[in-house]
Amino acid sequence: MLEQDSRLWTIADRVGTPFYVFDAAAIRRQCAELKARFPNVEFFYSLKANPNLSVVRQMVLSGMGCEACSLLELETSIAAGVRADRTLFVGPAKSVTELSRCVALGIKAVVVESIVELERLDSLAGTMGKTQSVALRINPDFRFAGAKLNMSGRATQFGIDQSTVDAMLPRIENCRNVRIVGLHVYMGTRILDHATIVSNTRHTLELAGEIQKKLGHPLRFVDVGGGFGVPYHEGEAELDLAALQRDLSPVISDYEAVNPQGKVCIELGRYLIAAAGRFVTAVRQTKTTKGENFATCDGGSNVHSAAAGQGSLLRKNFPISLIKRGAAPQPGHSVAPWTITGPLCTPMDVIGKDVQMDEPTIGDLICIPQSGAYGATASPVNFLGFGQPAEVMVDGDAITLVRERASIDAILEDQRPRTLPVVGGASSRSLGRTPASVFDHPCLNQLDGLKDLLVASGGKLEQDADCWRDLWADPILRAFTLIGVPDDYNGYPISDSGLAIEACSYGLHIAMIERLARFDASCILALQGPSLSGGAVMKMGTKAQIERFFAAYRTGPQGTFFAVTEPEAGSDPSVGSSVLSGPAGARRLNGRKMLVGNVKRAAIGLLFARSEETGRPVLVLIEPDKYASYIKIERLPTLGLRGADLCRITINDLPVDDAMILGDGLASLRDGFLAINDVFERNRPIVAALALGTGRGILDHVGATAPAAARSLRDLELRHAALLRRLAAVLDAYESGHPKTQDISLIKLQAVAFVDEVVRRALSLSSSADLMMDPGFRKRTRDAKAFEYMEGATNIHAMNAFRSYVAGMPR
């Protein structure tokens, strides 16, 4: 058996059939060859061919820019790591949401299809205070030859007619918030003749020269489309890339010599990914009827519509091979024509006709190469309810699940009735989706691009507490770290992060924590931001104390701590050992606290103590480096969340002046307790988000490494979704000014119970021994067990929830 056939059986046994498999090394080779042959060309990967995030990430890592045609494709590109200035956005019906996102990101260019769209974009950019670069898509007067599907040179919904450009110039000149930097012409697709590409490119570059003269300024780039073809069917030859290099390079060089500021861009989709992908389906039934042999498989036109000829005038066979488990067929075996069909109840579900092959048996695999482009995402995957197939990426010896097979539970959850908001106060019983909760905010998808960084940094934190600096180097995580810092002190506002949001609400902050915790909760706790103490300083501090606490954030990070809890006394200073004694001018602080946070790396923080003079609780502002001889900080051993630092801080006779006592010293006992309670109340949803994210991260990890076993955990995915909805309701109540203490404590309790249950169930799987050999899984389970010491024990929250419920407390 061929090695690649053996690997396909391995994948089939792990993820089931049907599935697609993509070869990362083949992607890199294809990209490298193009860049080597055309070093001056700027290449863009067209996501429509295959928008799988892992595929796009390989393209970006191989030096490709991205061309997107929807908000999801745009967010996928950003999540894959592409820079905004290497991103194009195309499409004939762009929404305001899509255009706004493009402007907020400042992408290389929005390709506009009409003067009306240009004016709409100009108005939108002006409203946002931005100037957006654009490229004009031109529908030329000449026709292109050699394409299987022509996209220009005829009546079409795409582009601005070449003949109308002159009449549009006055309107173009009136657009002050857009900058025309490029031209876009797309000739067509699946061109296999290199001479056709050369001729079409020459015509496009000549057109660019004419348009450039009309505009009166040089263009920065000309996107000549692409359309490089790949052979699918018998009799088709591969595109001669060497001949294309020989004949196209002089055309490009001639253009660049006359237009030194301009770059030639080529967008490719199919050519970059088709040969790197294979489709695999399994035979479920064979029969011969009325003289024709049929092999019916579990995947057909519903997941590979191109092989079924959908969109083509005449269906032709892709290359198709039969893969049997065990030895390869021996010489002399008999072959016969077979019709390969899928599982749909329609006679159109044919993916191979008269395929000459050995007799298949139930369970054999059917493999269709050249299937990396326009596969599942270009097919009616939900027809008859079969759903999205699994997608796998191989890279050397590594095999990674990069798209989960469609889950029946998830599909049904998407169809769960949700009441639409009431219009004009009238009641409504109509079914539909409610407005998306904060956990559906589009910026969260962009955080998925940070997964690799957080996973790597989380592993380093186990040994090196200072590796938080790797996290700070990322602009999104810098802004995330400083959420809660007042605008006057925030040198890295969220509006400059690239997330396309101007501000971050408390609820959105919680949602971001939950999403990032799926990758590594320890990293979140290692970030050097204002943490809990920042809220208390803002609530009780004087202007000078606020300046003292937050000033450092104008130029960089600053670790903080919030020392409240004592092992024997909890957070009640009246029975604790932490005491501020002595008269004004000679006060001394003594005490001991245990806390989770950045105290080991902190520059400033708060300690909760009892004033011996007044009997009231006080918060003391402490800068550890200034008083190192009075302070001892010990890091305590823990099993998880190493970025959090479970520490004991001991204070011996620390001198305290009036400026170190938070507030004006006149706060009542009630004020002090309320300030502390408010901080803890805001923290409990944070702990809930960390726990929910960690639990979901474990489920995702198990799904990627042991997908067959993970199917028994589907109910936990639904529970996670339900708890997110409950947490969203808690956050809505909090932000509306009507928080309920019992609900806040209850969601924290339920979230910690959820992550504990995830660990328990994962360890009970039949594959648990293999999972425990995985260091990533072991770390996640250690982190999950650490939530018990996050802001008190679980039984405290159970007691709080019960007491608040029976007392009917509205807070």
Give the span between the Cα atoms of 455 and 443, in whole angstroms.
20
Task: Taking each helix axis as running N to C, give the angle between helix 543-550 and helix 531-540, from 0 to 180 degrees, rounded to the nearest 10.
Answer: 160
Q: Which of 509, 513, 510, 535 is nearest to 524 (CA)?
A: 513
Residue of 66, 69, 345, 443 with catalytic role:
345
Give the span between the Cα atoms of 471 and 374, in whole angstroms.
36
Cβ proximity of 687 and 751 under 8 Å: yes
Give the span between the Cα atoms of 334 and 356, in whole angstroms.
10
Q: Are strands 418-419 and 431-432 parallel, antiparallel or unpaired?
A: antiparallel
Task: Taking each helix axis as running N to C, give the angle between helix 165-173 and helix 194-215, from 0 to 180 degrees, rounded to the nearest 10.
Answer: 50
Cβ proximity of 789 and 706 under 8 Å: no
**What are the angstrom distances between the C-alpha of 652 and each of 527, 581, 607?**
28, 12, 13
User: Hunting for tokens 């409203």 — which residue is that?
Assistant: 127
**What are the angstrom distances between the C-alpha of 316 and each of 98, 233, 234?**
37, 6, 8
Give the span between the Cα atoms of 599 and 605, in whole angstroms.
8
Q: How are the residues of the chain apportioned to helix, strand and coil, as percentages rounded to the nearest 5?
A: 45, 20, 35
Q: Which of 379, 373, 291 is nearest to 336 (CA)?
A: 291
Reported in sequence order, the residue ranges of 24-98 that DSSP labels E, i.e. its strands, are 42-46, 65-68, 87-89
803 phi/psi in degrees, rounded to 5: -60, -45
Question: Which string of b and e fits 459-480 if b means at least 16 CB within 10 Å?
Answer: bbbeeebebbebbbebebbbbb
Give the span between the Cα atoms of 371 and 734, in whole angstroms.
50
Q: Which of 423, 424, 420, 422 is nearest to 434 (CA)?
A: 420
The conformational region for residue 2 under phi > 0 = left, psi -120 to 50 = alpha, else beta, is: beta
3-state secondary structure of 723: helix
Give the span between the Cα atoms of 197 and 264, in whole angstroms.
14
Q: Six-digit token pair at 275?
A: 């040969």
**What are the angstrom distances between the C-alpha of 175 and each of 109, 122, 171, 497, 742?**
15, 6, 7, 27, 55
Query: CB neighbours of 473 closer than 8 A, spacing ≥ 6?
Result: none
Question: How many other CB atoms are there within 10 angstroms of residue 263's CB atom?
Answer: 17
Q: Which of 385, 457, 410, 438 is nearest to 699 (CA)?
A: 410
Q: Which of 282, 452, 392 is nearest to 704 (CA)?
A: 392
Q: Six-digit token pair at 494?
A: 């969220």
Active site residue 345: yes
The conformational region for residue 672 under phi > 0 = left, psi -120 to 50 = alpha, else beta, is: alpha
Q: Six-digit token pair at 7?
A: 């690997």
* Residue type present at position 670: R
Question: How many other CB atoms are there within 10 angstroms of residue 6's CB atom?
Answer: 12
Q: Which of 157, 227, 160 is nearest to 190 (CA)?
A: 227
Q: H helices then E strands: how many in the chain?
A: 25, 29
Query: CB neighbours of 708 closer than 8 A, spacing ≥ 6?
Result: 14, 15, 16, 767
> For the chain, how many residues are written?
811
Cβ proximity of 619 and 540 under 8 Å: yes
Catalytic residue IDs: 345
